[in-house]
A and B are shown apart, each in its own frame.
Chain A
Amino acid sequence: MDISLRAVTKTFGQVVAVDSVELDVPASTLICFLGPSGCGKTTLLRLIAGLETADSGSLLFRGKSLAGVPERERNFGMVFQSYSLFPNLTVEENVAYGPRCRRWPAADIDARVRELLAMVDVENQRSKYPHMLSGGQQQRVALARALAPKPHVLLLDEPLSALDAKVRRTLRSEIRRLQQSLGITSIMVTHDQEEALTMADQIVVMNEGRIVQEGPPAEIYSRPATPFVAGFVGSMNFLDVAIIGENRFNFVGHELTIDRSGIRTPLRGKAVIAIRPEAVEIARPAEKDRRRKSGNVLDAQVDWIEFLGGKCLLTLAPLSCPSQKISAEVPARTVHDLKLSVGSRISLILPPDAFNVYPA
């Protein structure tokens, strides 16, 4: 393990920003702290960086405690949310800053700067000042500057949030590729679930100072441990149901069966079941009756259609309970073929294996 946190807690006045967090970061992986603003993810990153001091708990780097080691001696590289390049230094001087602090020989510094500027593809901007660069270029320089002193760990604090969507997407894959080719242990903070899902080896979802779930992106997405994670990562339909038997629920008068191993619920009472909009299917007339036999089919009215390009987001009102809306994300093709418009009656299918069940 490159970095281990043991019961790390940090408070600011009355606010508990980080609440007894336990975490292990394996070497050469990219870990993402994901959560809404104020969830403590940035504080946690700053604690690891050494920019904040924990109230209690311990922080280990390769088994050795980091207590009392100031940030400048940790040799962790950091990329800040809005670059924080030194405005009075050129691109080259910014990248050379770290090696100069370490008193590397001039020739080594020169070679290192050259190498990094090539790596992040800003060689031809080397003698410009930061304000002359675009946001994307500035962030590349910031990345080069953080990597220049050969840090043990790379910390990224919302590195892409200040950039526009297109640049963000390019830099996302570039940072990921660079991280993998250098094999550098990295921790990234983000509130953008798409960023976390595409870049991370492991996602750590946080809320109110605590870790809610950690795991690989696919697992976080398909098996959210709590309704919070389910709602925060991607969008989700939550249905209030009554339990009527093992894996059998009553939803506004319809019986729904769910088919997921490893889920245990009591045999009575209430529960919340969750299904992603893209898992909800619209039954074609031909298959309607066949599917109806297998259950989990509801008649509904189209309440609203949002065109998203390749897909459409339908808001559906079940006929038996129009106030309990269900979202369905379907190919635009389907909407066209079935000639759906606001007011159309359809049958929707909730596949038994697409559910997650949570206590009410």
Chain B
Amino acid sequence: MTAADSMRERASGISRRLLTGDRLFRTGALGITALVLFIFVAFPIAAILREGLVLADGTWGLGNFIDYFRDPRFLTITGRSLLIAVSATVITVVLAYGFAYALVRTQIPLKNLWRFTALLPVFAPSLVQALGVQFLLGRNGLVSNLLGIRLDIYGFWGILISDIVYAFPHAVLIMVTALSVTDGRLYEAGRMLGASEFRLFRTITLPASRYGVMSAAFVVFTIVITDFGNAMVIGGDYSVLATEIYNQVSGQANFRLGAVIGIILLIPAALAMFVERLVARRNTALVNERSSPLVLRKSVPRDICALVYAVLVCALILLIVGIVVLASFVKLWPYDVSLTLKHYVTDVQNGYAPLWTSLWMSLIAAVLGTALVVLNAYMIEKISNPFTRVLYFLSVLPAAVPGMVLGLGYIMAFNDPANPIYWLYGTVWFLALNTIFHYHAQAFLIATTNIKQISSTFDEASAMLGATFLRTMARIALPLLLPSLLTIGLFLFMRAMVTLSAVIFLVSPRNTVAAVSVLLLDDSGKASQAAAFSVVIMAVVLAASAGFNLLLGIPLARRHAGASP
């Protein structure tokens, strides 16, 4: 029994029946949280671990891994993945640092435009970047055609460029946060002591943002090493770990090898998550309630440099995303550029049906996912005991599990007629559930952060006045959480619309999703149709988030301002 519990019991004038009902509700809600986390997180991951660690003769051991690393082909593939991930990480972090600096620490005009452009790749499935690079630099690309030279982009360079574009927005978001968290007084102190702008950057800005840099580096590394779509589109014969899993499982039904590669991919991702959480804890210590905001000074040379840089970066991103849009509207890229809509008449199996499946699946993920995530966050935050700490671990664990690995785990766990929820397998609901738990950690952390902000004051006041757990949740917590509920819903919707890596293993001919259609179209050589399909997906995602902001932005902003302490 928790302290709040006994406090509630001692409160006078509250009927026993109400208290019993409240206890039942709490137990029931916690039961749901535990059940979904064990079924949809713990079970699939256990399944993949078992598959990788059980040897051919039924005993447990590392034999499968030893065999894997004895094979020179797999060693090469692992080396390639590492090389691409490290190169992309270094380049992306440096580029994103400069971009975030321009957004946060300079007075360039049109900041919202630059920020929006930089975030564009997030609205697209992780293969649109590769499509763009292909249309630009590929065999039949714009550059080859204009200059009459043959670039060989398929392989290392293609994957590298596409993944940089793909990971760039994620790094920018982290760096913007890192550079925004600062203490203006330090800059004043430095200036009073006679420091030059460069010295201020070296002794204050850089040290204060180093955790952000580390965090961004790990996130980018994880995104790149686990990215499947871009490597599939532009990798050619240059196989990397993520595509190798797919080929082993889908092509040769070699589940054991798939599991082994999956477990290898778990290592960097788990490490990244661990370091990121460590970093997040250290970062908050840099500012306290006495910190003052940084007041930017006028500096024309600085702003000109920043503006030129921001425009250049945005131009490159627009070029790569824009060329996909352009190519989808012309007859034969890049030879016959007369406009046409014929690529929008798609001749992939099922036509546009996968798009509707995706939309339906994304709506389920948004609504059901928000409810589940907030319930989980609320129960785990409010009830603290060793059991809920296990549930907390399961809630954030998906951040360390690449989509491919989770998808593979779902096959191994649920594709079995003996499984009690086998009837769900292959349905839209199953895809939605997979997506919800693929992105559970990020959504869960948004919810937890918000619950933490309101918990200490209003919650205790409500409990002291004799309110039950259910009443506190319904009357106090949920209304205050409304803005973050909507944020979580939109986040899950957008991710579900563009997700590829986890669901690629789970789609059936009957229920396939939009991003998979793009991959199939590109795979069958219909790049322009793939582009057209991507454009439709991007349009839906952009429209959804624009509609969200338009419909709810204004009342939300007002509500949010009222709710914050």
Q: Which residues of A contact B (CB under 8 A)?
A: 49, 51, 70-73, 75-78, 80-82, 84-89, 97-98, 101-102, 131, 145-146, 148-149, 155, 162
- Asked if A86 and B189 make an inter-chain contact with CB atoms under 8 angstroms apart, the answer reads yes
22 contacts between A and B (CB under 8 A): A51-B192, A71-B188, A71-B191, A71-B192, A72-B192, A72-B195, A72-B196, A76-B192, A77-B192, A80-B185, A80-B189, A86-B186, A88-B208, A97-B190, A97-B203, A98-B194, A101-B194, A101-B195, A101-B196, A145-B189, A145-B193, A146-B192
- Asked if A89 and B192 make an inter-chain contact with CB atoms under 8 angstroms apart, the answer reads no
Give 13 A-B pairs besides A101-B195, A162-B290 with Cβ atoms closer than 8 angstroms. Answer: A71-B192, A72-B196, A75-B194, A78-B192, A80-B189, A85-B189, A86-B186, A87-B286, A97-B203, A101-B194, A131-B285, A145-B189, A146-B192
Question: Most B CB atoms within 10 A — which of A49, A78, A87, A149?
Answer: A87
Contact for B194 among A72, A84, A86, A88, CB less than 8 A: A72
- Asked if A149 and B194 make an inter-chain contact with CB atoms under 8 angstroms apart, the answer reads yes
Chain B residues 167-206 with CB under 8 Å of chain A are 183, 185-186, 188-196, 199, 203-204
CA distance A101 to B194 in the complex (A): 6
- Asked if A82 and B196 make an inter-chain contact with CB atoms under 8 angstroms apart, the answer reads no
CB nearest to A97 among chain B residues: B193
Contact for A84 among B188, B196, B286, CB less than 8 A: B188
- Rounded to whole Å, the gap between the CB of B105 and the closest CB of chain A is 18
Cβ–Cβ < 8 Å partners of B293 in chain A: none
- Asked if B188 and A97 make an inter-chain contact with CB atoms under 8 angstroms apart, the answer reads no
For the complex, is B351 an interface residue (Cβ under 8 Å from A)?
Answer: no
Contact for B203 among A73, A76, A86, CB less than 8 A: A86
- Asked if A80 and B204 make an inter-chain contact with CB atoms under 8 angstroms apart, the answer reads no
- Asked if B193 and A101 make an inter-chain contact with CB atoms under 8 angstroms apart, the answer reads yes
- Rounded to whole Å, the gap between the CB of B158 and the closest CB of chain A is 40
- Rounded to whole Å, the gap between the CB of A78 and the closest CB of chain B is 4
- Rounded to whole Å, the gap between the CB of B377 and the closest CB of chain A is 31
CA distance A262 to B223 in the complex (A): 83
- Rounded to whole Å, the gap between the CB of B144 and the closest CB of chain A is 49
Cβ–Cβ < 8 Å partners of B194 in chain A: 72-73, 75, 98, 101-102, 149
- Rounded to whole Å, the gap between the CB of B293 and the closest CB of chain A is 14
Cβ–Cβ < 8 Å partners of A88 in chain B: 203, 207-208
- Interface of B, helix, strand, loop or mixed by DSSP: helix
Question: Most B CB atoms within 10 A — which of A70, A71, A101?
Answer: A101
Cβ–Cβ < 8 Å partners of A82 in chain B: 185, 290
CA distance A86 to B186 in the complex (A): 6
- Rounded to whole Å, the gap between the CB of A227 and the closest CB of chain B is 34
Chain B residues 29-87 with CB under 8 Å of chain A are none
CA distance A2 to B406 in the complex (A): 72
CA distance A78 to B290 in the complex (A): 17
CA distance A72 to B193 in the complex (A): 6
- Asked if B185 and A72 make an inter-chain contact with CB atoms under 8 angstroms apart, the answer reads no
CB nearest to B189 among chain A residues: A84
Top 5 nearest A-B pairs (CB, nearest first) are A98-B193, A88-B207, A101-B194, A84-B185, A78-B192
- Asked if B185 and A97 make an inter-chain contact with CB atoms under 8 angstroms apart, the answer reads no
Question: Most B CB atoms within 10 A — which of A49, A51, A72?
Answer: A72
CA distance A30 to B189 in the complex (A): 21
CA distance A209 to B188 in the complex (A): 23
CA distance A81 to B208 in the complex (A): 21
Cβ–Cβ < 8 Å partners of A146 in chain B: 192-193
CA distance A152 to B189 in the complex (A): 16
- Asked if B188 and A72 make an inter-chain contact with CB atoms under 8 angstroms apart, the answer reads no
- Asked if A84 and B191 make an inter-chain contact with CB atoms under 8 angstroms apart, the answer reads no
- Asked if A51 and B191 make an inter-chain contact with CB atoms under 8 angstroms apart, the answer reads yes
- Rounded to whole Å, the gap between the CB of A256 and the closest CB of chain B is 48
- Rounded to whole Å, the gap between the CB of B297 and the closest CB of chain A is 10
Question: Most B CB atoms within 10 A — which of A49, A77, A97?
Answer: A97
CB nearest to B286 among chain A residues: A87
Cβ–Cβ < 8 Å partners of B192 in chain A: 49, 51, 71-72, 76-78, 146, 155
Question: Most A CB atoms within 10 A — which of B193, B196, B286?
Answer: B193
CB nearest to A142 among chain B residues: B189
Cβ–Cβ < 8 Å partners of A101 in chain B: 193-196, 199
CB nearest to A87 among chain B residues: B286
CB nearest to B183 among chain A residues: A84
Cβ–Cβ < 8 Å partners of A98 in chain B: 193-194
Q: Mark B421-434, 1 if CB is under 8 A from A, else 0.
A: 00000000000000
Q: Would A51 and B188 be within 8 Å (CB), given that A86-B203, A101-B199, A149-B193 are in contact?
A: yes
CB nearest to A77 among chain B residues: B192
CA distance A88 to B204 in the complex (A): 8
Cβ–Cβ < 8 Å partners of B195 in chain A: 72, 97, 101
CA distance A146 to B193 in the complex (A): 7
- Rounded to whole Å, the gap between the CB of A154 and the closest CB of chain B is 11
CA distance A82 to B185 in the complex (A): 9
Cβ–Cβ < 8 Å partners of B290 in chain A: 81-82, 162
CA distance A76 to B189 in the complex (A): 11
CA distance A73 to B192 in the complex (A): 8
Q: Would A84 and B186 be within 8 Å (CB), given that A101-B199, A162-B290 are in contact?
A: yes
CA distance A315 to B204 in the complex (A): 54
Chain B residues 327-365 with CB under 8 Å of chain A are none
Cβ–Cβ < 8 Å partners of A76 in chain B: 192
Cβ–Cβ < 8 Å partners of A97 in chain B: 190, 193, 195, 203
Cβ–Cβ < 8 Å partners of A73 in chain B: 194
CA distance A159 to B191 in the complex (A): 18
Cβ–Cβ < 8 Å partners of B286 in chain A: 87
CB nearest to A51 among chain B residues: B188
Cβ–Cβ < 8 Å partners of B285 in chain A: 131
CA distance A70 to B186 in the complex (A): 17
- Rounded to whole Å, the gap between the CB of A110 and the closest CB of chain B is 17
CA distance A154 to B459 in the complex (A): 48
Q: Would A86 and B204 be within 8 Å (CB), given that A101-B196, A101-B199 are in contact?
A: yes
CA distance A77 to B188 in the complex (A): 11
CA distance A131 to B285 in the complex (A): 10
Cβ–Cβ < 8 Å partners of A71 in chain B: 188, 191-192
Cβ–Cβ < 8 Å partners of A155 in chain B: 192
Cβ–Cβ < 8 Å partners of B186 in chain A: 84, 86-87
CA distance A226 to B203 in the complex (A): 48
- Rounded to whole Å, the gap between the CB of A20 and the closest CB of chain B is 25
Question: Most A CB atoms within 10 A — which of B189, B199, B203?
Answer: B189
Contact for A80 among B188, B199, B203, B208, CB less than 8 A: B188
CB nearest to B287 among chain A residues: A87
Cβ–Cβ < 8 Å partners of A70 in chain B: 191
- Rounded to whole Å, the gap between the CB of B228 and the closest CB of chain A is 39
CB nearest to B206 among chain A residues: A88
- Rounded to whole Å, the gap between the CB of B349 and the closest CB of chain A is 58
CB nearest to A75 among chain B residues: B194
Cβ–Cβ < 8 Å partners of A87 in chain B: 186, 286
CA distance A256 to B74 in the complex (A): 104
Q: Mark B92-129, 1 if CB is under 8 A from A, else 0.
A: 00000000000000000000000000000000000000
CA distance A162 to B192 in the complex (A): 21
- Rounded to whole Å, the gap between the CB of A221 and the closest CB of chain B is 31
Cβ–Cβ < 8 Å partners of B183 in chain A: 84
- Asked if A78 and B185 make an inter-chain contact with CB atoms under 8 angstroms apart, the answer reads no
CA distance A63 to B190 in the complex (A): 26
CA distance A155 to B194 in the complex (A): 15
Chain B residues 267-285 with CB under 8 Å of chain A are 285
CB nearest to A102 among chain B residues: B194
CA distance A85 to B186 in the complex (A): 7
Chain B residues 377-425 with CB under 8 Å of chain A are none
Chain B residues 285-302 with CB under 8 Å of chain A are 285-286, 290
- Asked if A72 and B191 make an inter-chain contact with CB atoms under 8 angstroms apart, the answer reads yes
CA distance A102 to B194 in the complex (A): 7
Cβ–Cβ < 8 Å partners of A85 in chain B: 189
- Rounded to whole Å, the gap between the CB of A108 and the closest CB of chain B is 15
CA distance A170 to B192 in the complex (A): 26
Cβ–Cβ < 8 Å partners of B188 in chain A: 51, 71, 78, 80, 84
CA distance A70 to B290 in the complex (A): 25
